[in-house]
Amino acid sequence: METIFEFIGSNITYIYLIGLMVFVGIELISHVPSVLHTPLMSGANAIHGVVLIGAIIVLGKSEPTDYFSIVVGFIGVFVGTLNVIGGFVVTDRMLEMFKKKPKGGKS
Amino acid sequence: MQHLMEICYLIGSFGFIIGLKLMGQPDSARKGNLVAAFGMGMAVFGTLFLDKTGFAVIPNFGYIISAILLGTVVGTLMAKRVQMTAMPEMVSIFNGMGGLAAALISIIEWQEIAHHPEIEMPLGHYIPIIAGLIIGTISFVGSIIAWGKLNGKIGDFRFAGQQYINAFILLVIIVAAYFNFTHIADGGSMWFYITMAVAIIYGLLFVFPIGGADMPVVISLLNSFTGVAAACGGFLYSNNVMLMGGVLVGSAGTILTVVMCKAMNRSLMNVLIGMAGSNSSGSGAAVSGSAREVQATDVAIMMKYASKVIIVPGYGLAVAQAQHVCHELENILAEEGIDVKYAIHPVAGRMPGHMNVLLAESNVEYDKLIEMEHINSEFPTTDVVLVVGANDVVNPAAKTDPTSPIYGMPILDVEQAKQIVVLKRSMKSGYAGIENALFFDPKCGMLFGDAKDSLQKLVNEVKSL
């Protein structure tokens, strides 16, 4: 029990952050027209590509002689970049089609 | 320099939130995507160049940059080349890549731990590593299976009591992860890789039984999994932008999944346990008689003398790439003074909003695309309904046959229109794998053939009349 309290106490900022972000995420998505579900899923998909930063960190701190970590880290950065770049480009291609519309209209 | 990096992360995090907010409205959606991409760019830039050690001197910089460049080139090519119809598959692949990245980070971090068994490992440090591994692996394997299902390479696979077995496997993962923790001092990685192997099995069994029509929901769910896996990495490195981005996607993805299920009038549990298709034999009884085949000429005459036509697009339209010729037909009819609208079912195609995207591509005006709730009252006053490659979303069994697997799903009430024409390649059933009584309705005619060819014929016939 003591360790749990200590864990919470020492990470309290992160716990606040996580809690708030959960609400922000729910609020942002709750009232979106179904038209946008696919692009939105794709956009969110690109955002979790932020895992790329973790891959950069882990590859960056690997010993240059530790070939296992270098190879795995390299793949990690590569696939992380795929997620980010591919995600944003695909989303942009989908949303490109929503652009030029002469009148506002309903969604 | 540390402060500059933190500022980049701050901009990145806000970029994600504002971007996601803007993406929620059709007018600003594209800008929102750019804002989120800019935020991502700032975060990556900060990590690369503004690390606490100073400018551009993180070790292995060459490897990192070349991996990023390679990923950028390949990612751009993949995303640019893909056909609009194959977008869902592509999203699934990219999602899997994110999950894989999270799992690989955990593997390297674990090697570090395994090499130094003498160092005591706090649970708070171990949990994000192992959780990142488990969730990332499930997301990766699941996404690849989902991709295979969407492009028809992998069929459904289910057996009795599967949900109990899945629950059991989940338990095994947790037990293995716990054993791994208690055996850290012994060195070795056996339990770590057992945990990973079981997570792979879970990823397979989790997605295998779910029908292809429900894949969007699964991808959306796996999407939020990857978000959580990214957040684990953020916790591990005390990295705010990873944590915020990951949690944001985790929660937004979960709620998006629920909203999508609602659009199909099903609960998430119902989708995951997978009811569609497995006991579909019950729907056979309602279907009898024979379908009536019609020719393009007849349909053209029918439409020419109608005053109101509604087009119901479906996956067949997307497959045949028929959106442009569909728009052409709409224009020709509109010139004749006929009122033409599109009825958009929330899950027509393979993803919610799929049809809107496709038709918007061919410049169909927004206010012609009417959502289900608003158009259903208009069918009784409609002369001709043109169903282009849609099936399950117009199947009356959803309302009339409680034994049907799609019973309860809201559908477009096309059978109330005066005439119905269905453009279809054959009498084959749709994604739910069931017969459609609508095709045997006396008011309904079937125009067989590829949607694009059939629409082109209609355009020519209407022109020549």
From first to last of its 465 residues, chain B has per-residue pLDDT tens of 568 888 999 999 999 999 999 998 888 889 999 999 999 999 999 988 887 655 555 678 889 999 999 999 999 999 999 877 778 889 999 999 999 999 999 999 999 888 888 888 888 889 999 999 999 999 999 999 999 988 878 877 777 777 788 889 999 999 999 999 988 888 778 899 999 999 999 999 888 888 767 788 899 999 999 999 999 999 999 899 999 999 999 999 999 898 888 777 677 877 776 544 444 334 444 455 677 888 888 888 888 888 899 999 988 888 788 888 999 999 999 988 899 999 988 777 766 677 877 788 788 887 888 888 888 889 999 999 999 988 888 888 888 877 776 777 788 888 889 889 998 887 776 666 677 888 888 888 888 888 888 899 889 988 888
- Determine whether B214 is an active site residue: no
CB of A9 within 8 Å of a chain B CB? The answer is no
- Residue pair B362/B326 in contact (Cβ under 8 Å)? The answer is yes
Min CA distance, B63 vs chain A (Å)?
7
The minimal CB distance from A79 to the residues B36, B37, B101 is found for B101
The confidence score (pLDDT) of residue B120 equals: 82
Indicate if the pLDDT at residue A44 is higher than 90: yes
Nearest CA in chain B to A23: B251
The minimal CB distance from A98 to the residues B26, B74, B255 is found for B26
Using DSSP's 3-state secondary structure scheme, residue B308 falls into strand
CB of A35 within 8 Å of a chain B CB? The answer is yes
The overall average pLDDT reported for chain A is: 85
* Cβ distance of A74 and B63 shorter than 8 Å: yes
Contacts of B296 by beta carbon, 8 Å cutoff, 6+ apart: B447, B454, B457, B458, B461
pLDDT digits (tens, 9 = 90+) for A77-93: 999 999 999 999 999 98
Using DSSP's 3-state secondary structure scheme, residue B116 falls into coil
Q: Regarding beta strands B419-424 and B369-371, do their DSSP bridges make them parallel or antiparallel, or are they unpaired?
A: unpaired
Min CA distance, A68 vs chain B (Å)?
8
* Cβ distance of B87 and A88 shorter than 8 Å: no
* Cβ distance of B82 and A90 shorter than 8 Å: yes
* Cβ distance of A21 and B244 shorter than 8 Å: yes
B93 Cα distance to chain centroid: 11
Domain boundaries, chain B: 1-81, 86-278, 282-464
Q: Smallest Cα–Cα separation from B349: which of B440, B266, B264, B291? A: B264
Q: Which residues of chain A neighbour B65 with C-beta distances below 8 Å?
A: none
The confidence score (pLDDT) of residue B284 equals: 42
Contacts of A105 by beta carbon, 8 Å cutoff, 6+ apart: B365, B366, B367
The confidence score (pLDDT) of residue B279 equals: 41
Nearest CA in chain B to A105: B367
Contacts of B373 by beta carbon, 8 Å cutoff, 6+ apart: none
Catalytic-role residue among B27, B51, B156, B392: B392
Nearest CA in chain A to B242: A50
The confidence score (pLDDT) of residue B8 equals: 93
The confidence score (pLDDT) of residue A56 equals: 93
CATH of domain B282-464: 3.40.50.1220
The confidence score (pLDDT) of residue B196 equals: 96
What are the tokens at B165?
């077995």
Of A27-36, A47-56, B280-289, B426-435, the poorest mean pLDDT is in B280-289
Task: Work out the pLDDT band at A37, boundaries 50, 70, 90.
Answer: confident
Domain boundaries, chain A: 1-31, 32-98
Min CA distance, A21 vs chain B (Å)?
5
CB of A12 within 8 Å of a chain B CB? The answer is no
Residue B293 CB coordination number (10 Å): 10
Contacts of B205 by beta carbon, 8 Å cutoff, 6+ apart: B162, B165, B166, B169
Q: Smallest Cα–Cα separation from B373: which of B399, B345, B339, B348? A: B345
